[in-house]
């Protein structure tokens, strides 16, 4: 999977990827703070609607905190500006959705795992999530490209976190009410 990366220098650069009133999913990656400077957080901007009055749109990602789960949350211009200062890039790939049918399939993949809490650095991180939604393949080049000894350390850390948490995970069953975010949005039919 050959991915092109464009470093975003200004909010206007990023806003150029938005497509008002039509399906749009923008894969972003941002360098994490000083502790995680070797890893990037990935998320997908649902770039078909920018609410100017509150300077906000929606993103799909693993939400943060102890209840981190796959979900949609509002993201403001200030959040994007912070990410741009930290090192935000837009990732593009010929396999990413480009037709309404492909966007529907990608959104269906999101719906299948919405509210999932199975975060794992090595097996199910935010890059795995973004690639799965956009292509159907759950891959993370950050993990794949680690030297073997760093993979081993990362896997050991991941395993210790999982055993400390001992949470039961259940896949949500989509309801008729949340089946289509698109139906509730201002997207054209």
Lowest mean pLDDT among 26-35, 74-83, 104-113: 26-35
Lowest mean pLDDT among 78-82, 86-90, 179-183: 179-183
Find all residues with CB under 8 Å of 151, minimum gap 6, and list them.
122, 143
- Closest C-alpha to 132, from 157, 156, 105: 105
Q: Tokens for 76, please give them.
A: 């403001």
10 Å CB burial of residue 134 (0-12, 13-18, 19+) is buried
Residue with tokens 């995680």: 36
């Amino acid at each position: 999977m050959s991915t092109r990366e464009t470093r975003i220098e200004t909010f206007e650069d990023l806003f150029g990827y938005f497509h008002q009133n039509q399906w749009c999913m923008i894969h972003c990656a941002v360098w994490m703070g000083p502790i995680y400077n070797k890893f990037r957080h990935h998320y997908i901007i649902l770039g078909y609607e920018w609410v100017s009055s509150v300077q906000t749109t929606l993103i799909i990602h693993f939400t943060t905190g102890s209840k981190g789960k796959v979900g949609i949350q509002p993201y403001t211009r200030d959040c994007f500006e912070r990410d741009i200062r930290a090192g935000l890039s837009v990732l593009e790939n010929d396999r990413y959705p480009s037709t309404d049918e492909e966007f529907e399939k990608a959104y269906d993949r999101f719906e299948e795992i919405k509210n999932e809490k199975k975060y794992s650095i090595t097996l199910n991180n935010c890059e795995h999530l973004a690639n799965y939604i956009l292509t159907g393949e759950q891959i993370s080049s950050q993990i794949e490209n680690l030297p073997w000894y760093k993979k081993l350390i990362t896997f050991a850390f991941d395993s210790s976190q999982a055993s400390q948490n001992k949470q039961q995970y259940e896949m949500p069953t989509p309801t008729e009410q949340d089946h289509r975010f698109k139906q509730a949005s201002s997207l054209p039919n």
